Structures are given as C-alpha cells and as structure tokens.
A and B are shown apart, each in its own frame.
Chain A
Amino acid sequence: MAEGALRSLAVDGVIGGVGGVLVFLPQIMFLFFFIAILEDCGYMARAAYLMDKLMSRVGLSGKSFIPLLSSFACAIPGVMAARVIEDRRDRLTTILVAPLMSCSARLPVYGILIAAFLPATWWIQGLTMFAMYLVGIVAAAGVALALKKTLLRGPTPPFVLELPAYKWPSLRLVVHRMLDRGWEFIKRAGTLILAVSIVIWAMLYYPHDAATVEAPFAARRAAVEARLANAPADGPERAELEEELAAVDNEIAGAYQRQSILGRMGHWIEPVVKPLGWDWRIGCAAIASFPAREVIVATLGVIYNLGKDVDPGEEEGQTQLTEALRSATWDGSDPPRPVYNVPVALSIMVFFSLCAQCAATLAVIKRETNSWRWPLFTFVYMTVLAYVGALVTYQVGMLLV
C-alpha cells in the first residue's frame, strides 16, 4: 500500500494499538485459569473464613473477602458479589473499595512498563508486579477503615458461612472458563480497544498539514538525501547518512504530533501531569484510558509508533513498544532527555493501580447502590488517591535515584 492516511491508520493505529494489547492474551488466560481453579475447588469459602479476623481489623467481615478476591479478575463481578453481605454499611464499603483491587485489565499496563524499565532480573520484576497488587490491597484497607470510621460508621456483624465440600476442580470447566475469558479479551480488543486506537490515531494524525510542518525540515532533508545519493554503496558514510535521514524523519514525525489535535490538547494538560514526571503523551494516554484502563497500552502504541521508524530490539522479550518507550525523549530537550525512567514507570503503575478507569464498573456501582452519588464518590476519591500516589512515588523515587 502506498504512503497515505489509510496505511498509517492500519500500521500505526490498528497494528500499533491493538497489537500491543493482544500480546498480553497468554498472561490474561493464565490469570483466569488459576482463578477458575480457586473458584471450582471450594477454597474460596475457606479463604473467606481465614481472612475474617484480618478483615475485621479494617471494619469488614470475611464476607467481604470473596467480592474483593473476585475483583482481582474484574471489579464488576466483585461489586455484584457484594450482594451476599447483609449489612448495608459493610456492603457499601466493599463495593467502594472493590475497584482498588488490581484487575486483569491492569496486567498489560504493569507488564509493559515492568518489562521496559525494571532490571531484567526475575525477582525484581516479580516483586514489582507483586508490589503493584499490594498497593491496591493496602489502599483498599486504608479506605475501608476510613469509611467505616466516618461515612459508614457501624459495628461489624458476626460472620457465618456455610462451607462447601472440597473437590477436585473440573478440568473441562476450568479450561472452558479460561478460553471463554480469553475470547472475551480478544473481542474487547477487536471492538472497544480497536475503536479507541482509531480515534486516537485520528487525533494524532489530523490536521495533517504537510506544507506547514515539513517546510522547516525540507532543506536539511534534501541536503542529506543528496549526500546519500552520492555516497558509495558500501562505505561507512552511507550508514551515517541513513541514520541522519532517519533522525530528520523522526523530528518531522514529532512536529506532526505536536501540531495534531491530541498534541495541542496534551500541551494544555502537561502542567497538571508534569509533577508526576509525565510528558504530554503519557497524560493523553492516561486520559484516553478513563473508559477502560488497558486502552493505555494501545494508546501508547499509537502515539510512539506513529510515523516513527523504530526497530524492535534484539533482547529477549523486547517489543517494538518497549523499545519506543525507552527511546522517548522530552520535546525540545537538548541534549535529548529520556521521558521514562524507573520513577516515571512506577508513578504510572501506581496511578493505574489506584485510579477508577473503568466506565462499566462505575455503571455497575450505580446499579447496585441505586444512586449516582456513590459511583461519583468512587471516581473522585480514586482519582485523587491515584494522583497523590503517583506524585509521591515519582517525587520520592527521584530523590532516591
């Protein structure tokens, strides 16, 4: 296909966006495989019993444990499972903290940033992933305690639970659930994430005013091209010139992004996200992820690949997106200053572990509480918590680095 809008949409928008999310399908299927085993063997009720004492310290009972554990897969069944709690205050507290559990949609966000910026030692990367899950658990405990001491004050009711018999999980059922959820993930990537990727691509591509954007680079590019035409085929000079041409092309791609709709919007919000260590691209990706958080991977894929010539790295597990994130620099910085480092990656992960970026969950909270007040409360408190958490993470991280 010739160079043009449709080619850019297919390569940068669809492949760069949806492809970046789809690579996480195996991890998602593993997660659901193990959750299905836990559910099917009868362990959940025992875990709820074991956790009762711990949960009572934050004002909840063991009954809240199952909704909260379910929320590690997805907050929606977690919120709905809170119906089993008879006490209204306990039920409401459980519903309000359930979205803080790290659901499967957060997994791609953690995965891409940990792979790109944490040292490739299994225990560091594994501990960081565990720490992200812990951030949500600790925050949920703190929020539950605060709610039970203020807005939803009341005694913790006694915990009574019928324990089902232990049994071997049915392999057929577990595999069926795993495949079913895997298929749902693919469908989501093919619908919502695809649509968001296309819209983000359009906001980053238009207005594609070549005359204005390329004019300042035209003379420099023409000079490099002329020297390249006269350079010997096998000489070292040719490789240098090709690198220089690629650098000019990347500068042109950057200029296109800055004058795009998303680029201009991003520069308006940059002062808000800069204290978190983020540039306008990360800010835009975070805002685009409010309907569904896994969209950030697709959005970053579109933003960092659009019009750029990024070679996938040779290291194991290194994708084009991780390489693009590593090579991203602040606009106008001279010498080029990398956008991403470990504190920035941790700041993004903490933000995503605490933020209410799921429209479907908020809608279910509205349905379960029969009021817009509680989803609004959830959205506000989680967004503030996420911003403060990310700010503290980045600022403390920069002091330590």
Chain B
Amino acid sequence: MIPVIEAVAFASVQDMAALVLVVSAAGYLAWQGWRVVRKKSAGCGGCGSCASTQPRESQPFVEAATIKQIAPKP
C-alpha cells in the first residue's frame, strides 16, 4: 500500500492549505457523482454544455406529428 499519510509532511502552512483544497475538490467530485447517480442533475443542463435554452424543461426543436394529428377534424 502506498504510504500516503506518512509521506505527507505538514512542513508548512502551504502544505496544509493545499491539503484542505484537495480534500474540498475530492468532496465536490464525490457529491457530483452522487447527484448524477441519484438523478438530481442528470437532466438537460447536467453537463452544462448543451444548446438548450430551457435546461430543465427542454422541448424538441421540431414538433413531429402524424397525418392523423395534423389533419383537420371533421
């Protein structure tokens, strides 16, 4: 096993500050992973790079209809 804990020497404030940031980043990633699994942010907008302007209630860009639907009702 890699002796991570023993090797991390708290020699300075820099070391401690870096470690706090690393733990925060790891915690954030774990939280994000949990959200994806729990479907909280798995919807549109979850990845943050889509083209939809209405992230959570996206509509299809083009409505499709069958002939029956678009034909005028008698």
Bound pair (A, B) = yes
A residues adjacent to B (C-beta < 8 A): 1-2, 4-9, 28, 32, 35-36, 39, 44-45, 48, 63, 66, 70, 73-74, 76-77, 80-81, 83-86, 103-105, 160-162, 164, 176-177, 180-181, 184-185, 187-188, 191-192, 194-196, 198-199, 201-202, 206-209, 261, 264, 291-292, 358-361, 363-364, 366-367
A103 with B53, Cβ < 8 A, contacts A7-B14, A160-B67, A192-B32 known:
no
Q: 6 closest A-B pairs (Cβ-Cβ)?
A: A207-B7, A363-B42, A74-B50, A4-B14, A198-B25, A5-B18
Instruction: State A80–B46 Cα separation when bound (angstroms).
Output: 12
Which residue from B39, B41, B42, B65 sits with its C-beta under 8 Å from A160? B65
Q: Are B60 and A83 in contact (CB under 8 A)?
A: yes
> In the assembled complex, which residues on chain B have CB atoms less than 8 Å from the CB atom of A76?
43-47, 50
Q: A5-B18, A83-B60, A161-B64 are in contact. Are A363 and B37 (CB under 8 A)?
A: yes
A48 touches B62 (CB 8 A): yes
CB-contact partner of A32 in B7, B37, B51, under 8 A: B51
Contact call B62/A164, Cβ cutoff below 8 A: yes
Contact A185 B51 (CB under 8 A): no
A-B CB contact pairs (8 Å), 23 listed: A4-B12, A5-B12, A7-B14, A73-B51, A74-B50, A74-B51, A76-B45, A76-B46, A81-B60, A83-B60, A84-B64, A160-B67, A185-B49, A192-B29, A192-B32, A195-B28, A202-B22, A202-B25, A206-B7, A207-B8, A208-B8, A363-B46, A367-B43
Contact with A along B53-64 (1 / 0, CB 8 A): 100001011111
Q: What is B's interface to A at a CB cutoff of 8 Å?
A: 2-4, 6-9, 12-15, 17-19, 21-22, 25-26, 28-29, 32-33, 36-37, 39, 41-53, 58, 60-67, 70
Overall SS of chain A's interface: helix
The 8 Å CB contact of A206, one of B8, B33, B36, B63, is B8
Knowing A261-B2, A360-B46, say if A181 contacts B51 (CB, 8 Å). Answer: yes
